Structure 1
Amino acid sequence: MSPEPGWARCLDAAFGPPLPGEYRAAPEDFLVDEELDFAPEGRGEHLWLRIEKREQTTLDVVRTLSRLCGVTPREVGYSGMKDRFAVTRQWLSVHLPGRDAPEMLETRLSALGIAVLEQGRHPRKLKRGVHRANRFALRVGGEAVDAESFSARWQALCEGGVPNYFGPQRFGAQGRNLQRARALLARGWRKRDDRQGMLLSSARSFLFNELLSARLTAGCWAMPLAGDTLMLDGTQSLFAVECVDAAIKRRAAELDLHPIGPLWGQGEGESRGEVESAAPARRFELRLEQAHPALCEGIERAGAKSAWRALRLRLGTPELTPLGSGARLEFSLPRGSFATAVLRELLAHGDFAPWPAA
């Protein structure tokens, strides 16, 4: 596996490394709108609020709603965590059985930089990960955007998909979350030391990125291999393929099917076997375990259950709009995917620079 975090990009072979560029110069340059497949029913114990926030985390809003509504933070629900240095829209819920929202709640939230866009009652709490996608509108600039190759790089991502890397925010400044995760897993993960599971998630995300980079370097990140499990685009439906025939190749080329990689956990290390005798897809997982045994074993001991994530993502309804200075990019991504995975293919930026050696 390649040293971290020099993770491979999919466009370098055709266009060379990206040129320097800028994004998120101001919060208004990074707009995120959470998309649900349903709306509040209009009745029930939970008050749902669709809010717009600026320069606040989702957990900041949770704490504010908790205080203003007189409930515990656990009684406030949300589906996804949204960036701080951005303008973001999302739904949250507050458990208010048998009582109305506090007086002037919208006004008090507005004074704190939180605008209420919609609201309604619903029988159930908003749970994590139920939103379908996030819609992004990003303003980018700099040498990379001014180059003639920029629109061609963008078109290549629209047609061929994007490596579904976890973004740098998952690992903290200069990878410090991962460093902390290594230390915690080495002495034994405990919930009280990682209450939000951020460090455990950082370690699993790192392993996924490592495997994706290895497959990208080998030229098989988007095209299925024998023994792969594939995910149907836009769903969590999975099926295994022992033989990659012409129909599978065609559907993969059309971005209808994507190979998947593991989010490491209990069950992933079973039936390890020898690398040379394993199915082509399985060899990458075995090499990952050989390269990072302490992380893999620590995650399994922590009790995390193995899960799966697509190696590639499709940009939903992508748009590129030239501006007087720079450009505006618009696209949707499935929940759990990062806009920074798209941007790192288009421009070089300090957020995507290698971490210092540990």
Structure 2
Amino acid sequence: MSELPYACGTPPLAARLRASPEDFQVEEILGYDADGVGEHVLLWVEKRGANTDWVARELAKFAGVPQVAVGYAGMKDRHAVTRQTFSVQLAGKTDPDWSTFPHAEVKVLAATRHSRKLKRGALRGNRFVLVLREVQGDRAAAEQVLQQIAVRGVPNYYGEQRFGREGGNVEQARAMFGGRRVERDKRSFLLSAARSHIFNNVLAARVERDAWDKPLDGEIWSLAGSRSWFGPEPFTDVLAERLVRADIHPSGPLWGQGEPPTQAEAGALEREIGAANSDLAAGLAAARMDQERRPLRLLPKDLKWRWLDDASLELSFELPAGAYATVVVRELATV
């Protein structure tokens, strides 16, 4: 991630993030409530230093159901304190005593019946409370960067978690496209890493042109809060007003079959970067991935900050599903 260009210039601070799990807190926002009836139960779970998929497996064992009966909307950071919802299908079964779940690092805080299994991606977003420790640097410049982020947002890069240890998922994707066999579950991670790599490269080029939060000719627009997109079309006063309101965002490619829908300058840039990563682009097309879009701009909602002491800075904000808190932090501090 360090090689990707910054929107706000060199970060004014250096700090330590995740000095303890409590310094990285995440709360999932589903955007809807349990309906109170049905053969599924929605569990509101707090985990500390635990992997989401591991928690799902342990919940299945505890409930005496197959792992496929457990659902969750999104993976959460392991080195953190996170609260999220899991669904467990209990067809014809009574609820176990969730308070006796046998892992100290996991607490079931609430359980409510529901009619459907949670699906991956079925959430509105996440709320974060992060603490930077051992902070050094220019506090006045940091205040300016935070003000800029609050107004302008940050480039919506995929975070380093997407690329595996030392970024190895991209090279593994290249090997897979070259013929190496991989397990089915790992295949989906490698496809995602390949798409994310091309997207980040397009976004980096747009940041270098100072065009990540403004359109290029031939732009495709992402609708805020959805996966829908439209364009290209002339940049009118109506579109300019919607851009200011954050109803729409410039977008970048999630590579797949066929050509990106962008045209003119935006299209030329995306095709140039696709050609520079031709093995990944061809592999994604061969895997029959569709051409999709992702916003280039990320606007943290309700961004707040306060100094806990001379060397500790707390940040809180909400992000939409699929966005990374670490790409907000990277504009402010090297961690």
TM range (shorter): over 0.9
When you count strand as a share of all residues, which structure comes out higher? 2
Structure 1 position 261, deviation (Å): 0.8
Structure 1 position 222, deviation (Å): 0.6
Deviations 1:48-94 (Å, cap 9, x if unpaired)?
10100000011011110111111111110000000100000000001
Aligned to 1:163: 155
- The alignment's C-alpha RMSD in Å is 2.0
Aligned to 2:76: 82
Aligned to 1:260: 251
- d(CA) in 2 for partners of 1:146, 1:55: 32
Q: How does 1:85-234 map to 2 (within 5 A)?
A: 85-102=79-96, 104-109=97-102, 111-144=103-136, 147-187=139-179, 192-195=183-186, 197-234=188-225
- d(CA) in 1 for partners of 2:39, 2:3: 49
- d(CA) in 2 for partners of 1:74, 1:321: 43
Structure 1 position 298, deviation (Å): 0.8
- d(CA) in 1 for partners of 2:105, 2:227: 36
- Asked if 1:40 corresponds to 2:34, the answer is yes
Corresponding residue to 2:294 among 309, 313, 318: 309
1:225–1:244: 8 Å Cα contact kept in structure 2?
A: no
Total equivalences in the alignment = 334
Structure 1 position 146, deviation (Å): 5.6
- d(CA) in 1 for partners of 2:7, 2:148: 10
1:50–1:92: 8 Å Cα contact kept in structure 2?
A: yes
Structure 1 position 175, deviation (Å): 0.9
Structure 1 position 196, deviation (Å): 6.0
Structure 1 position 157, deviation (Å): 0.6
The aligned amino acid for 1:105 is W
The aligned amino acid for 2:204 is S
Structure 1: segments with no counterpart, 5+ residues: 273-277, 350-358
Q: 1:49 is paired with a residue of what secondary structure?
A: strand
TM-score of the two chains, using structure 1 as the length reference: 0.88
Structure 2: segments with no counterpart, 5+ residues: none
Aligned to 1:6: 3
- d(CA) in 2 for partners of 1:310, 1:90: 25
Aligned to 1:355: none
The aligned amino acid for 2:90 is L
- d(CA) in 1 for partners of 2:45, 2:187: 23
- d(CA) in 1 for partners of 2:52, 2:137: 31
Q: How does 1:10-21 map to 2 (within 5 A)?
A: 10-12=7-9, 16-21=10-15
TM-score of the two chains, using structure 2 as the length reference: 0.94
- d(CA) in 2 for partners of 1:220, 1:314: 15
Percent of residue pairs identical:
40
Aligned to 1:331: 317
Structure 1 position 239, deviation (Å): 2.1
1:188–1:298: 8 Å Cα contact kept in structure 2?
A: no
Aligned to 1:61: 55
- d(CA) in 1 for partners of 2:245, 2:98: 48
